[in-house]
Amino acid sequence: MKHLPMKKLVVTSLTAAMVLGAGTSAFAKDSKDWKDWDNRKDSKQQSSNKNDNRGWNGQKGRLDFKDIQGKDMEWALRYIASLASRNIFDGYSDGTFRPNEKVTRIEAITAAVRLMGLRDQAESATEMATKLNFKDANQVPAWAVGYVSVALKNDLFGEADTMVQPNQPADRLWATTLLVKALKLESEAKTKMNVKLSFSDANKIPAGSVGYVAVSVERGLVNGFEDNTFRPTQPVTRAQIAALLDRAGDQLPGSDVGVVTGTVTTPVVGNVLTLNKNGQTVTLTLDPDAFIYRGGTRVSASALQVGDVVRTRSYNNVIIFAEVTNNVGTWPTQPTQPTLPSATNTGTLTSVVNNNLLTLTNGSQTVSLPLNADALFFRNGAQVNASALQIGDIVSTRSYNNAIVFVEVTQPAGSTGSQPTYTRQLSGTVVSTGSNVLTLVNGGQVESLSLNSSAFLYRSGSKVSVSALQVGDVVSVYAYNNTVAIAEVTQTVTQPSNSNGTLTGTVAAPAYGNTLVVTSGSQNIALNLDTSNAFIFRGGGQTGPGALQAGDVITVRYYNNIVAYAEVTQLAGGSSNQPVVTQTTGTLLSAVSNNTLTVLNGGQASSLTLNAGAFIMRNGVRVNATDLQTGDILNIRSYNNAVIFVEVTQNGSNGNLSFTAVGTFSSKTLNSQGQIATISINQTYTNGTTQTITYTVTSPVTIYGDSSKLVANQQVVLQGTGQTVTTIYIQ
Write the single-letter amino acid at 39.
Answer: N
Q: Are strands 553-559 and 437-442 parallel, antiparallel or unpaired?
A: unpaired
**Measured at the alpha carbon of residue 337, what is the angle toward residues 301 and 148, in degrees to the nearest 5?**
100
**Kind of pairing between the strands at 562-570 and 523-529:** parallel
252 half-sphere exposure, CB direction, 13 A CA radius: 23
**pLDDT value of position 468:** 87
Helix axes 238-249 and 172-182, enclosed angle (nearest 10): 30
Helix ranges, 501-641 (H): none
Instruction: Quick: pLDDT tens for 254-294.
Output: 566 678 888 888 888 888 999 888 778 889 999 888 888 88
Helix (H) or strand (E) holding 527: strand 523-529
Which residues, in sequence order, are CB contacts of 608 under 8 Å at separation 6+? 584, 596, 597, 598, 599, 636, 638, 643
Dihedrals φ, ψ of 500, to 5°? Answer: -125, 135
Which of left, alpha, beta for 444 (phi over 0: left; psi -120 to 50: alpha)?
left
Q: Quick check: 451 and 436 in contact, CB under 8 A?
A: yes
Relative to beta strand 690-704, strand 724-730 is: parallel
- Residues 658 and 601: their CA atoms lie apart, in Å, by 10
Phi-psi region of 350 (alpha: psi -120 to 50; beta: other; left: phi over 0): alpha
The span from the CA of 679 to the CA of 491, in Å, is 62
Distance in angstroms (rounded) separating the CA atoms of residues 32 and 127:
21
C-alpha–C-alpha distance, residues 105 and 551, integer Å: 33
Identify the burial level of 262 via C-beta atoms within 10 angstroms of its C-beta, where 0-12 means exposed, 13-18 middle and 19 or more buried. buried
Instruction: Write down the pLDDT at residue 301.
Output: 86
* Cut 0.75: pTM above it: no
Domains and CATH numbers, the chain: 16-249 (no CATH), 259-326 (2.40.50), 345-411 (2.40.50), 423-491 (2.40.50.140), 501-570 (2.40.50.140), 581-650 (2.40.50.140), 658-730 (2.40.50)
b/e map of 3-19 (b: 16 or more CB within 10 Å)? ebebbebbbbbbbbbbb
Q: DSSP label at 111?
A: H
Kindly report, residue by residue over 424-470, the tens digit of the pLDDT. Answer: 888 888 988 877 889 888 877 888 899 999 998 888 777 888 888 88
Distance CA 672, CA 612 (A): 37
Question: How distant, in Å, are the alpha carbons of 502, 588, 619, 633 from that of 650?
Answer: 19, 11, 9, 5
Q: Provide φ and ψ at 476, rounded to 5°.
A: -110, 130
pLDDT at 575: 66
- Please give the pLDDT value at position 136: 92
List Cα–Cα distances, 408 to 65, 388, 450, in angstroms: 35, 12, 18
SS3 535: strand
Q: Report yes or no: 156 and 9 within 8 Å, Cβ to Cβ.
A: yes
CA–CA dist 428, 508 (Å, integer): 9
> What confidence tens digit (pLDDT) does each residue in 650-662 have?
877 655 667 777 7
Among residues 513, 285, 480, the alpha carbon closest in space to that of 396 is found at 480
Gap between the Cα atoms of 625 and 618, Å rounded: 10
Give ∠ CA 328-307-300 in degrees, rounded to 5. 80
Q: Distance of alpha carbon 609 from its chain centroid, rounded?
A: 41
Please tell me the predicted confidence (pLDDT) of residue 545.
82
Look at residue 164 in the predicted model and tell me its pLDDT.
92
Q: What's the half-sphere exposure (Cβ side, CA atoms, 13 Å) at 235?
A: 19
Residue 594: which residues within 8 A CB-CB, separation 6 or more? none
The confidence score (pLDDT) of residue 420 equals 87
Cα separation of 90 and 36, whole Å?
11
Write the CA distances from 449 to 334, 380, 442, 472, 610, integer angstroms.
34, 20, 12, 16, 45
Decide if 93 contacts 153 (C-beta within 8 A): no
Please identify every stretch of the chain with a pLDDT value under 50, giving residue numbers as ranges. 3, 5-60, 329-343, 686-687
The residue type at 640:
N
* Rounded Cα gap, residues 354 and 209, in angstroms: 47
**What are 225-247's pLDDT values in tens digits?**
777 889 999 998 887 777 777 76
Which amino acid is present at 343?
Answer: A
Residue 482, by phi and psi: left (phi above 0), alpha (psi -120 to 50) or beta?
left
The confidence score (pLDDT) of residue 153 equals 93
SS3 call for 468: helix
Query: Which of these, 724, 713, 689, 712, lies nearest to 596 by C-alpha position?
Result: 689
Say if residues 720 and 695 touch (Cβ distance below 8 Å): yes
User: How many residues are there in the chain?
Assistant: 731
- For 590, residues 6+ apart whose C-beta sits below 8 A from its C-beta are 598, 630, 723
Distances (CA, A) of 72 to 248, 459, 542: 23, 11, 48
Helix (H, G, I), strand (E, B) or coil at 727: strand
Render 421-463 in DSSP notation, one character per residue.
Answer: --EEEEEEEEEE-GGGEEEEEETTEEEEEEEEEEEEEEETTEE
3-state SS of the chain: helix, strand, coil percent to 5? 20, 40, 40
